[in-house]
Amino acid sequence: MSNNQAEYDYDDNGDSLFICLINHYKYKHSVELDNDVILDLDINDKPMAVEFLNASKLFNANKSYLNDLNKITLKIKVTKDSITLNCIIRNNNNSFKLNAITDNCDNIPKVETQLLYS
C-alpha cells in the first residue's frame, strides 16, 4: 500500500469535505462510491481525492469539528469487483469514521493506497 501526504478543505456553508493528494495530478474522472461520497481518479486510474458531501451528516460530527481536523487517515482499496474506502478523521479528542463500498463497474485496475494528513 502506498502512503501519500494529503491536504483537506472543509466548506462549512456547503458542508463538503475534500481530501486530496498534495502533489498535483491530472484528473480523469470521478466514481460515486456511496450517496455523497465521490472518488476522483487520475489519468492512470489511481485514486487521488475524495469529496464527502453533507460531511457533518456522513461523519455524524459537528461542523466546527470538521473545520479544525488534525489527522486524517483515508484508505482506498480497488479490487476486480469492488472499491472500498475507509476514512478516519480526528479533531483533538474526537474521532469520526466512515466506510463506503461500491462495485467496480468501471474496471479500474487493482490498487491499494492511503492518503494521510497530520
Q: Which residue has 487493482 as its cell numbers?
A: 110
How far from 85 is each of 12, 25, 63, 68, CA to CA, in Å?
23, 20, 22, 22
36 Rama class: left (phi>0) / alpha (psi -120 to 50) / beta: left
pLDDT for res 14 = 97
Domain boundaries, the chain: 2-117
Residue 95 clears pLDDT 90, i.e. is over it: yes
Exposure string over 67-103, b if 16+ CB within 10 A, otherwise e: eebeebbbbbbbeeeebbbebebbbeeeebebebebe
Q: Is the pTM for the entire model greater than 0.85?
A: yes
pLDDT in tens, 37-86: 999 999 999 999 999 999 999 999 999 999 999 999 999 999 999 999 99
Residue 25 clears pLDDT 90, i.e. is over it: no
Q: What residues have CB less than 8 Å from 7, skipping those under 6 apart?
A: 19, 20, 22, 117
pLDDT for res 5 = 93
CA 74 to CA 16: how far, in whole Å? Answer: 16
CA 118 to CA 116: how far, in whole Å? Answer: 7
pLDDT in tens, 6-24: 999 999 999 999 999 988 7
pLDDT for res 41 = 95
